[in-house]
Structure 1
């Protein structure tokens, strides 16, 4: 049925529910698995540039290194959890990206046929104000998406 599952995470406790469900499904189906984390661009860069300040190359490098370290910490937990299940997992960090865009990009590049991800389940004004990466993935994904609550 499925051959390659993409499991997005942001490292949160809620996202971990999606990770666990995705890894369990991968084990049951005996399929390939890729975990993805999208990390943010340098904060306030657009506002700061408008004010005449541009972050230095060193500041940008330090920020990127910190984002990579953050992703690697999350990936280490996923790799450990996958290993306990006997599931191999590839990990991909997409720097300077919004989550939904990164998820859809990696799903296409890796020829995934299922995305398993968590949702906060927000509704109404809260969803509009906060946005929903899960809703964006659902709206734009050409492949199946399993949403874990």
Structure 2
């Protein structure tokens, strides 16, 4: 059951693109929304702080204003407006401005403080440097947050692929490892709340990357790999069906897992892609980690990233 959602906002319209999805999750599950903005402290840190935008008015880095007129009041006002708006839509909402740095660390700490079950955020904010900064923040939040992170990344026209606020179909990428299956628990919670159907996907890829070497999968090995993947997904799917979920299994062959997952998500019109941050230990962990990184750049669909517990 979902009880608490953290939604980081940077004051930009692009940063707000995650709100329809976050609101849908909150309304469906009854979870409380915690809106948060992290402001860098006064001083040199402002040189690396993205400017804040409120209703189209920019507040540049290092703006020389009196302490009583500094951004915290403007930022708190911005969050309160969203708090009032979302409360009017029936959501339970709270908001706060956090002062500190680095941003990802502050958000991770606050996620723990509010016992967030899920972090919902956009992957980038405004254009140029600020956009790059927010993209890096989302990457770091994925690595540090104590909860899964649902990333919404609009395209260059500031639009989200799919229907904003829709959570009817989850594509869950699995690689056959127990750690990758950690993605299933938050998917269960979300899918149960939104009555969503699930598609389980296993990509059998060639070539297989092993450090600096590249070794192709022999043609005579494809069939056993595909059959083994199908058997594995069937077993996982049966367990989910017994829990009442509508489940489909898919095994595809592709050159790279990230590109194949993104293609299937588009073909299936999935509302959310779910993946763990890594699979097995050692080299295989690095491979699946690269899959997650690849998806963050290859798909414009919402991506839920689950970081399994430390081994």
TM-score normalized by the length of structure 2: 0.38
Could you list the runs of 5+ residues in structure 1 that have no partner in the other structure? 48-59
- CA shift in 2, pair 1:46/1:23, >3 Å: closer
- CA shift in 2, pair 1:30/1:45, >3 Å: closer
Paired position in structure 1 for 2:79:
75
Larger radius of gyration: 2
CA contact (8 A) 1:8 1:19 kept: no
Once the two structures are TM-superposed, the CA of residue 32 in structure 1 deviates from its matched residue by 1.3
After superposition, the CA RMSD in angstroms is 2.7
Provide the rounded CA distance (Å) in 2 between the counterparts of 1:62 and 1:44. Answer: 17
Instruction: Write the mapping of 1:1-149 to structure 2, written as runs, cut at 5 A.
Output: 1-44=1-44, 62-63=66-67, 65-120=69-124, 130=133, 132-149=136-153
Relative contact order (C-alpha < 8 Å, sep 6+): which is higher?
1
Provide the rounded CA distance (Å) in 1 between the counterparts of 2:124 and 2:109. Answer: 22
SS class of match (2:140): helix
CA contact (8 A) 2:22 2:120 kept: yes
CA contact (8 A) 2:40 2:46 kept: no
- CA shift in 2, pair 1:73/1:114, >3 Å: same
SS class of match (2:70): helix
CA contact (8 A) 1:42 1:63 kept: no
Paired position in structure 2 for 1:57:
none
Provide the rounded CA distance (Å) in 1 between the counterparts of 2:93 and 2:86. Answer: 7
Q: Deviations over 1:5-44 (max 9, x none)?
A: 0111011111111123212210121111111110112142
- CA shift in 2, pair 1:97/1:68, >3 Å: same
Query: Aligned residues, how many?
Result: 131
Segments of 4+ moved more than 3 angstroms = 60-65
Once the two structures are TM-superposed, the CA of residue 142 in structure 1 deviates from its matched residue by 2.5
- CA shift in 2, pair 1:100/1:64, >3 Å: farther
Higher strand share: 2
CA contact (8 A) 1:6 1:34 kept: yes
Provide the rounded CA distance (Å) in 1 between the counterparts of 2:46 and 2:116. Answer: 33
Provide the rounded CA distance (Å) in 2 between the counterparts of 1:45 and 1:99. Answer: 11
CA contact (8 A) 1:4 1:32 kept: yes
CA contact (8 A) 1:23 1:82 kept: yes
Higher helix share: 1
Once the two structures are TM-superposed, the CA of residue 111 in structure 1 deviates from its matched residue by 0.9
